[in-house]
Chain A
Amino acid sequence: MIFIAASLSFALIHLAPGDPFSGSITSPGLDPETARIRRSQYGLDRSLLQQYVTFIGNVVVGNLGQSIRHGRPVSEVLGIALPRTLLLMGTALILSFAAGVALGAWQAARRGSRADRVAGATSLVVASLPEFWLGLVLLLVFTYKLPLFPGGGIVGYMHDSLSPVGQLIDRVRHLALPSLTLAVLGTATIARFQRAALLDVLPHDFVRTARAKGVAERWVVYRHALRNALVPTIVLAGLSLPTLFGGAVFVESVFSWPGMGLEAAAAFAARDYPLVVGTALLGAVIVVIGGMITDVLHAAVDPRVRAR
């Protein structure tokens, strides 16, 4: 799968119009002599097949090439951006999973009530919101109207002047709004899935047995039924990694979060071929790892999978 992703992204970015040295809209075109030197430097004067063979050969030995925009190895550029995005995505995923499961279970326990209907309609609306819009609204509310959180960056501009505790608080405060933006959207989706999953489980025999044994309704729902209803939600959480990855592009832009999303968008606009392909490759790896983590978690919560 990773090989296919690498080959596809290589082909598509090279087939897209323009090249890294075609200039910007206010200054189209480099000096022709400079452009020739640059194309030769990055091997773009060779045939596409030759470039592809070289690229695949390098990827096999772990060399993703040199970023044209940064003039540094792609692995170095991604090595800086990836942990930042993983921190953002990881925080958002944990928050959205915790809140989504809780909300979904709460709704399922009140199936058909007014509270359930209001929560369902709200989560549907929230799940439909564009990431950048929600990000801007949160920025307006929590940075400008109620200045509780900083509006962007990973740390404050005066971070180095803070004490170690202050630096930790500074980091958490900067993480709050971008992760909240992604988490709110994720929560809405997970809650809808969790509610449906729990409603599927509640009529089962083991739930009826638990009730017949006199177990309190809260324990029936949250201890017996919920564990069984978690399986589809865990699968969803694992599969939502690509979605989170995509959403991070917009959220990172709004909150000036210098992660993979910002890097990928800039690389694509500048036709930084090696970086675009490197980003796609890394995205594919994350998706594969997400799938593996899902399988492990699935086995952890479902004894039938372990038995197989």
Chain B
Amino acid sequence: MTAPLTMRQLTRSTVALLVAATACDGTTRTTSEDPLTGGSLIVAVSTDIGHIVPPAIVQVDQRLVADQVFEPLAWVGDEGRLDDGFRPALADSWSWEADSTVLVFHMNPAARWHDGKPVRASDVRLTFSLYTDPAVGSPDRQPLMRIDSVTVRDSLTPVFWFGSRYPEQLFDAAARMLIVPEHAVANEPRANLPASAFARSPIGSGRFRVAKWDPKTAVELVSDTTHYRRRANLDRVIFAHIPDPTAMVTRLSAGELDAAEILNSEHFRTLSARPELSSRILPALDYTFLQFNLRDPRQPNRPHPLFGDVAMRRALTMALDRDRLVRSQFDSLARVALGPMTHAQALADTTVAGVPFDSAGAARTLDSLGWKIPVGKAIRERAGQPLRFSVIVPTISRNRMSMIVRVQEALRLQGIELVVDALEPNVFIGRLVKRDFDAAFNGTRAEVSLAGLQSYWTTNGAADPTGRNFGSYQNPVFDAHLDSALSARSIAQARAHASEAFETIVADAPAVWLYEMRSAPVVHKRLRTAHMIPGAWWAGIADWSIPSGERIPRDQIGLRVAAAAK
């Protein structure tokens, strides 16, 4: 017996009929006979893409789109290693010369730009010069400065010259840069690449090309059917700008969207429960911490009256049951942070012992430092001064605003008063940069490599007024181990030094390492996904597919032939 139609199904059918009745135009379409190819994917992105000029990319969502349109010389492999396991892209192979300070790439002679011109070694040379030009402002500029130069041996052989050996050389040369076409970019003004003609009509070499660009609305990519390797399985991918997270969840549930990365545990629970959606949890690169200012913000040449003492910082860390705090807010969507690193980083040491939760130990330490709870009072005091400090928090981060309330309550139970100073993001950043805070609920997106730690946690980063070591943490032992890790001859040596560095900084507790977010992509089950790697769940979209029997009406439009326009 057939089940009666629900009101929702009835409405859906009516609307589908209405749409189908009007869905007919004269546009040329191509259809594929390969059962693997075809179908559409609509991905929600929370930020306006703006542009996808690779050297000028500053947002994750921009990289998500650019990775489909452009290619590096090689992709990071599924295991995320920085020294091996790379998947060939524009380069078929590579070899080392001299004392491993010269890296030679052999490019695929069949590689073509979307306008049909061949990809050449000179494109790689130009790309490197753009990434390292301060006028362009690439976030990858500093790590790439470890490469001396890029030269062209012949039209298919770019050569990378390094000043010294280090473990991430191959990653920097092969995967960090998305290669751009010299003939389309060379004459563009470098200080304004996002506004260039190239930005409006990007020409890449990836398995998707840009078909349509509606500013602040959507970017539509279509499969490049003439790609030198193989066309993308899907006909099209649309990146839809959905700024409101609740609206995004509703539209994903309603079937208007196919995929999105979820940042809120309640939303994740809701969507994970839906039978037509599948969810994944992957390590990511964002970590968040309660950073202490080790210098007195009023007299920066003096240690902070509270946080200049490592015993106090460790006591505050011990006072917080981070595991419970993180689970209660995020469930499985985050985990306790290891330190200034995340599980997604190849060189992260996940075995480093953090400062454990020990409320009795924290109380003993605070007592021994003279901070005791007077009879009849709830807040600890020393010489009549209450144990109180302020923490600045950016209001734009819902997760941090929510977590700080839990931290505040946990510290109150230990007799510590935390004054929350919620600030508009620009004010928050201004206070950080001026080092004008006691504690800051800070967070960052870690570099894939360890090079990013230098600005955030080393002595140089503290001394440099433009550095990002806002808490002025300084320990020469940490600096030395990090330097050794960055200049090691092998990944194994680098990992050993990195572990020492992490142990040092975790023991020094310049921050309470609170949580690292996990990447939680939710995808419609009709899509078969591939190559979801830590830090880049979108890496294999060109290999995603939809079985022909599971396609819905929007999958069957075919590969409409449309001119790129923005």
Contact partner of B11 (CB less than 8 A), chosen from A29, A33, A148, A254, is A148
Q: Closest approach, in angstroms, between the C-beta of A300 and any C-beta of chain B?
A: 37
* Residues of the A chain whose Cβ atoms lie less than 8 Å from the Cβ of B242: 152, 256
Q: Does B182 contact A (CB under 8 A)?
A: no
Q: Does B195 contact A (CB under 8 A)?
A: yes
- Residues of A at under 8 Å CB distance from B? 16-19, 22-34, 37-38, 41, 69-72, 80-81, 132, 135-136, 139-140, 143-148, 150-154, 157-158, 160-167, 169-170, 253-256, 258, 262-263, 266, 269, 271
Size band of the interface chain B makes with A? 35 or more
Given the contacts A161-B23, A254-B247, A71 and B192 also touching, CB distance less than 8 Å: yes
Chain B residue at minimal CB-CB distance from A161: B557
Chain B residue at minimal CB-CB distance from A164: B25
Cβ-defined contact, B12 with A18, below 8 A? no
Cβ-defined contact, B562 with A160, below 8 A? yes
Chain B residue at minimal CB-CB distance from A34: B137
Cβ-defined contact, A140 with B250, below 8 A? yes
* Residues of the B chain whose Cβ atoms lie less than 8 Å from the Cβ of A70: 50, 194-195, 215
Cβ-defined contact, A25 with B394, below 8 A? yes
Q: Does B560 contact A (CB under 8 A)?
A: yes
Cβ-defined contact, A160 with B250, below 8 A? no
Chain A residue at minimal CB-CB distance from B10: A146
Cβ-defined contact, B244 with A256, below 8 A? yes
Chain A residue at minimal CB-CB distance from B445: A26
Contact partner of A151 (CB less than 8 A), chosen from B19, B250, B394, B466, is B250
Report whether over half of chain B's contact residues are helix, strand or loop; otherwise say mixed.
mixed
* Residues of the A chain whose Cβ atoms lie less than 8 Å from the Cβ of B27: 160-161
Kindly count the residue-residue contacts between A and B in the assembled complex, taking CB atoms under 8 Å apart: 188
Given A17-B430, A19-B426, 9 more contacts at CB 8 Å?
A: A25-B429, A26-B445, A27-B139, A28-B468, A147-B11, A161-B25, A162-B23, A256-B241, A258-B217
**22 A-B pairs in the complex with CB atoms less than 8 angstroms apart:** A17-B427, A18-B425, A19-B426, A22-B430, A25-B397, A25-B428, A29-B468, A31-B142, A34-B141, A37-B134, A37-B135, A38-B137, A145-B8, A151-B254, A152-B240, A152-B242, A157-B220, A158-B40, A158-B557, A160-B25, A253-B243, A269-B425
Given the contacts A144-B250, A169-B18, A31 and B216 also touching, CB distance less than 8 Å: no
Cβ-defined contact, B215 with A256, below 8 A? no
Question: 8 tightest CB-CB pairs across the interface, nearest first?
Answer: A18-B426, A71-B195, A166-B22, A258-B216, A34-B137, A33-B134, A32-B466, A151-B251
Most buried by A among B8, B18, B191: B191
Q: How far is the CA of A33 from the CA of B560 in the complex (A)?
A: 45
Chain A residue at minimal CB-CB distance from B465: A32
* Residues of the B chain whose Cβ atoms lie less than 8 Å from the Cβ of A81: 216
Cβ-defined contact, B24 with A26, below 8 A? no
Q: How far is the CA of A255 from the CA of B217 in the complex (A)?
A: 11
Cβ-defined contact, B557 with A69, below 8 A? no
Q: Does B443 contact A (CB under 8 A)?
A: yes
Q: Does B353 contact A (CB under 8 A)?
A: no
Q: Does B296 contact A (CB under 8 A)?
A: no
Contact partner of B137 (CB less than 8 A), chosen from A31, A148, A151, A164, is A31
Cβ-defined contact, A22 with B426, below 8 A? yes
Chain B residue at minimal CB-CB distance from A20: B426
Q: How far is the CA of A78 from the CA of B241 in the complex (A)?
A: 18
Contact partner of A163 (CB less than 8 A), chosen from B8, B25, B40, is B25
Q: Closest approach, in angstroms, between the C-beta of A78 and any C-beta of chain B?
A: 12
* Residues of the B chain whose Cβ atoms lie less than 8 Å from the Cβ of A18: 425-427, 429-430
Cβ-defined contact, A160 with B560, below 8 A? yes
Contact partner of B15 (CB less than 8 A), chosen from A16, A148, A166, A254, is A148
* Residues of the A chain whose Cβ atoms lie less than 8 Å from the Cβ of B50: 69-70
Cβ-defined contact, B240 with A31, below 8 A? no
Contact partner of A166 (CB less than 8 A), chosen from B23, B214, B253, B425, is B23
Q: How far is the CA of A169 from the CA of B137 in the complex (A)?
A: 44
Within B207-260, the residues touching A (CB, 8 Å) are 212, 214-218, 220, 238, 240-244, 246-247, 250-251, 253-256
Q: Does B276 contact A (CB under 8 A)?
A: no
* Residues of the B chain whose Cβ atoms lie less than 8 Å from the Cβ of A143: 250-251, 254, 256
* Residues of the A chain whose Cβ atoms lie less than 8 Å from the Cβ of B251: 139, 143, 151-152
* Residues of the A chain whose Cβ atoms lie less than 8 Å from the Cβ of B191: 37-38, 41
Given the contacts A17-B427, A25-B394, A150 and B25 also touching, CB distance less than 8 Å: no
* Residues of the B chain whose Cβ atoms lie less than 8 Å from the Cβ of A147: 8, 11-12, 15, 254-255
Q: Closest approach, in angstroms, between the C-beta of B524 and any C-beta of chain A?
A: 14
* Residues of the A chain whose Cβ atoms lie less than 8 Å from the Cβ of B141: 31, 34
Q: Closest approach, in angstroms, between the C-beta of B249 and any C-beta of chain A?
A: 10
Provide the B178-218 mask, 1 if CB < 8 A to any CB of A, else 0: 00000000000001101100010000000000001011111
Chain B residue at minimal CB-CB distance from A28: B429
Provide the B1-32 mask, 1 if CB < 8 A to any CB of A, else 0: 00000011001100100110111110100000
Q: How far is the CA of A243 from the CA of B116 in the complex (A)?
A: 52
Q: Does B501 contact A (CB under 8 A)?
A: no
Q: Does B377 contact A (CB under 8 A)?
A: no
Q: Closest approach, in angstroms, between the C-beta of A123 and any C-beta of chain B?
A: 26
* Residues of the A chain whose Cβ atoms lie less than 8 Å from the Cβ of B51: 71
* Residues of the B chain whose Cβ atoms lie less than 8 Å from the Cβ of A164: 25
Cβ-defined contact, B466 with A139, below 8 A? no
Chain A residue at minimal CB-CB distance from B396: A25
* Residues of the A chain whose Cβ atoms lie less than 8 Å from the Cβ of B23: 158, 161-163, 166
Q: Does B546 contact A (CB under 8 A)?
A: no
Cβ-defined contact, B240 with A157, below 8 A? yes
* Residues of the A chain whose Cβ atoms lie less than 8 Å from the Cβ of B134: 31, 33-34, 37
Cβ-defined contact, A16 with B426, below 8 A? yes
